[in-house]
Structure 1
Amino acid sequence: MNSTCVQEVISPCCLVRRSINTVVQLLKRVLAHKNMDMATVNALPYEDFVNLLGNVVEKCPIITAAVWSGRPFLNFAALEAAISEFIDALPESGKEGVLRCHPDLAGRDLRGGTLTRESREEQTGAGMDALTSAEASRVTRLNEEYKERFGFPFIICARLSDKATVLRQLSERRRNERAVERARAVEEVKKICRLRLQALVRDDAQNKL
């Protein structure tokens, strides 16, 4: 290996460039595969399947990886059902692990810009980035009370909610029994998953409506 190659390998700038190039290539693949039909989904190699669909359940690419072997999927509903069935088959501790992968609403990740792209779009769409000072303080307090009671963060399908709905649900649902709230949170995860899938995969049944 000559000196130029050695410098390239150890150069932090080179490593950053390579990381950026990797992200750019992945984004290009995501954009190229938006609105995929089911034939395209079924033809995806394992790595592309996981890279493209790996965040339909927040920060749980292992779920996408697990359902890949179930191909070919007959249609959008079959793919969605495979993911839901995987979640439903988890023990309660596993379900709570999935829930804990979700960020707080209007929390430090939103403020710090460290949310996943999907979560950022969902939270900003529901107005979580436009809370008043009083609202932000209330959400922070309620989030902490909720997590202290249940051991996982409050989850709601933000794309189907507005700021008032989020605040009302956060206040009301913290009074639920643990098993009831865990089940409700899992159903919200499935709603989020469905909408994220629809952003990537064509739902032919929906198109016929």
Structure 2
Amino acid sequence: MDISVVNALTYDDFVKIFGNVVEKCPLISAAIWSHRPFKDLADIETHITEFIDSLPDSGKEGILRCHPDLAGRDLQSGTLTHESQEEQSQAGLTTLDSAEILRMYRLNSQYKERFGFPFVICARMNKKADILRQLSDRLQNERALEREQAIEEVKKICSLRLHNIVLSDIQTKL
């Protein structure tokens, strides 16, 4: 989708199309729609990043709580968003053996108990072994550091999702 098409979208269409670039947070897309016209994809991303960065810690944690557990019950029951399903699949989380599932469940539970939000990592930029290692390693972080690290991962996920929406049409026309 060309940036001129993005800028011509109605509010409802913009929120419908971009509403899940930050997992289950259409409010963010709704909030940045008024910044149109966007110069380019980077401009959209900048507005989203600035919105997230302007939130208090409780708002950032709210964003994190919208994310599913990796390889968790939503994956097992088929209730993940389309984007999360694709991302977890690409990372190899849909092919975990029973021991890996158990380890992931244990680590996810410990993480949520410690921090109060699910572990967030850009699955498309990692494979299952890296995800398991980072989940274990990041359990040692202090809460403030982990919140900021998780928010940085949200921004990576958002960037890749934005590129899928805006650039996918352009690339198919080449």
Query: TM-score surpassing 0.5?
Result: yes
The alignment partner of 2:17 has SS state of helix
Q: 1:64 aligns with which of 22, 29, 32?
A: 29
Q: 1:167 aligns with which of 124, 132, 135?
A: 132
User: TM-score under structure 2 normalisation?
Assistant: 0.95
Name the larger-Rg structure: 1
One-letter code aligned to 2:29: T
Query: Once the 2 structures are TM-superposed, how far is the Cα of residue 202 of structure 1 from its aligned partner?
Result: 2.7
- Greater than 6 Å deviation, 4+ residue runs: none
**Preserved CA contact (<8 Å) 1:156 1:185:** yes
Instruction: Report what 2:86 is aligned to.
Output: 121
One-letter code aligned to 1:76: L
**1:123-162 equivalence runs, <5 A:** 123-162=88-127
For the pair 1:49 / 2:7, whether they are aligned, the reply is no
Distance 1:37 1:202 in 2: 8
Instruction: Report what 1:28 is aligned to.
Output: none
**Preserved CA contact (<8 Å) 1:38 1:202:** no
User: TM-score under structure 1 normalisation?
Assistant: 0.79
The alignment partner of 2:165 has SS state of coil
Distance 1:101 1:73 in 2: 26
For the pair 1:186 / 2:151, whether they are aligned, the reply is yes
Structure 1: gaps of 5 or more residues: 1-35, 204-209
Distance 2:125 2:152 in 1: 13
**Preserved CA contact (<8 Å) 1:158 1:166:** yes
Distance 1:165 1:150 in 2: 20
Structure 2: gaps of 5 or more residues: 169-174
CA distances 1:109-157 after superposition (whole Å, capped 9, x unpaired): 0000000000000001111111111111110000000000000000000
Distance 2:34 2:107 in 1: 40
Distance 1:201 1:44 in 2: 13
RMSD: 1.2
Distance 1:74 1:120 in 2: 31
One-letter code aligned to 2:159: R
Distance 1:163 1:142 in 2: 13
Distance 2:20 2:38 in 1: 19
Distance 1:122 1:113 in 2: 14
Instruction: Report what 1:16 is aligned to.
Output: none
One-letter code aligned to 2:95: A
% identical equivalent positions: 65
Instruction: Report what 1:73 is aligned to.
Output: 38
Instruction: Report what 2:160 is aligned to.
Output: 195
**Preserved CA contact (<8 Å) 1:59 1:101:** yes
